[in-house]
Amino acid sequence: MPLRQRLRKTLVGRQILVGRLPTGPASADAPRGPDWSQAAPEWIDAALAHALEKPGGGWYVLGPREDFASAPKKVVVLGQELVVWRGASGELLAAPDACPHLGASLSEGRVEEGRVVCPWHGLRLDARGFRGWRCHAAHDDGVLAWVQLGDEAPTEAPILAPRPSSFIAGTIKALARCEPEDVLANRLDPWHGAHFHPHSFSALEVLERDLDQIRLRVVYRILGPVGIEVDATFHCPDRRTIVMTIVDGDGAGSVVETHATPIRPGETLLVESTLATSERPGFGLAKAFGKAVRPFIEARAQRLWVEDVAYAERRYALRMAAG
Ligand code: FES
Ligand SMILES: [Fe+2]
């Protein structure tokens, strides 16, 4: 029957797998042993140190691009208060939130013809700057908004991992009492997946790993016992981002980008974008209804991050207690 042919079902224990199964073998030197022994703290620390050595180009994710419409909005990055708004052509602009005249908060003002208007005395400001007040470089990559700050060696644009050419995007945000490294460390420990998130994952097996990339096979639960099995990789394209890419099975090419932005010491903004794609014929239709699909993507990510924020915050608290 056509439906049966399309939905290849496999019964594994009490799990029903649907969809195209991954085909690649596990590597001969795949880690062995129970998950707690594979998740060696020394290995996770080494992978984290490797990620933290990567360049960041001075770029920090502010949030989903839709968060920054025409009205001025205040954000805090690296302890600096910024105002972010859209210029006359819709370009993203970011600058110090304090007005160069007497210090009013510009984010409490308004935008007129692409210029932010100070609420106290009406000074109009734009990318040309005024006295010592200057815009920072800002970037809208089509999914996320970024600002460039600090003293890292700058790059022209944020360092992005490959994205699918056609996708449905869903983005969630969460604040965590930790540093960006705690967010990365959480994802560099994939072994916790089936234990800590049993509602979402089962049968997680790390197939191979080196300091640059972890490859695993996992069953992603859809509903009850029904799940899809995929192969996925984790890697860090820069020092504040970790990306999961589905490399085999249904949804191959989909990515989940997890970005960690330091707000101030001990406080991190976590921004996670799921860019879902599929070669299935129905995907074009699903994409047309992307707005309807997006809440489901975001609800699933949010649930996982409630738990992963707890993990990252616990790691941070232990690090602080240890001095
Ligand atoms: S404080 Fe902004 S114009 Fe005076
Ligand atoms: Fe997790």
Whether 12 and 44 share a structural domain? yes
Q: How confident is the model at residue 1 (pLDDT cuts 50, 70, 90)?
A: very low
Report residues whose beta carbon is within 6 angstroms of any ligand 1 atom. Answer: 99, 101-104, 118, 120-121, 123
Residues 180 and 207 in one domain: yes
Residue pLDDT, tens place only, 245-295: 999 988 889 999 999 999 999 999 999 999 998 877 766 666 666 666 677
Same domain, 186 and 163: yes
Q: Are residues 119 and 236 in the same domain?
A: no
Report the CATH number that the domain containing residue 25 is assigned in CATH: 3.30.530.20
Residue closest by Cα to atom 1 of ligand 1: 102
CA of 200 to the centre of ligand 2 (A): 10
For the segment 8-21, the average pLDDT, to the nearest whole number, is 65
Same domain, 241 and 131: no
Same domain, yes or no: 178 and 259: yes
Residue 221 lies in a domain: yes
Same domain, 46 and 185: yes
Q: What is the pTM of this model?
A: 0.91
Query: Do 230 and 90 share a structural domain?
Result: no
Number of domains into which the chain is organized = 2
Q: Are residues 274 and 169 in the same domain?
A: yes
Ligand 1 atom with least separation from CA of 100: 2
* Domain assignment present for 96: yes
Domain span including residue 229: 2-56+159-322
DSSP bridge pairs for 111: 116
Nearest CA-CA partner of 113 in 133, 99, 93: 93
Q: Which of 107, 125, 148 is the last residue of a domain?
A: 148
Select from 123, 124, 130 the residue to mutate for testing ligand 1; criterion: most ligand atoms less than 8 Å from CB. 123
Identify the domain boundary among 119, 148, 177. Answer: 148
Check which CATH number belongs to the domain holding 82 and give it.
Answer: 2.102.10.10
For residues 63 and 52, state if they share a domain: no
Judged by DSSP in three states, 30 sits in coil
Helix axes 180-187, 290-322, angle to 10 degrees: 110
Mean pLDDT, the chain, rounded, equals 90
Answer whether residue 153 is part of any domain: no
In a domain, residue 122? The reply is yes
pLDDT at 19 over 80: no
> What's the pLDDT tens digit per position in 192-240?
999 999 999 988 999 999 999 999 999 988 887 888 889 999 999 999 9
Is 154 part of any domain? no
Choosing from 126, 148, 170, the residue where a domain stops is 148
Q: Count the neighbouring beta carbons within 10 Å of the beta carbon of residue 227.
A: 22
Cβ neighbours of residue 44 closer than 8 Å, sequence gap 6 or more: 185, 188, 189
241 with 289, same domain: the answer is yes
Q: Are 297 and 211 found together in one domain? A: yes
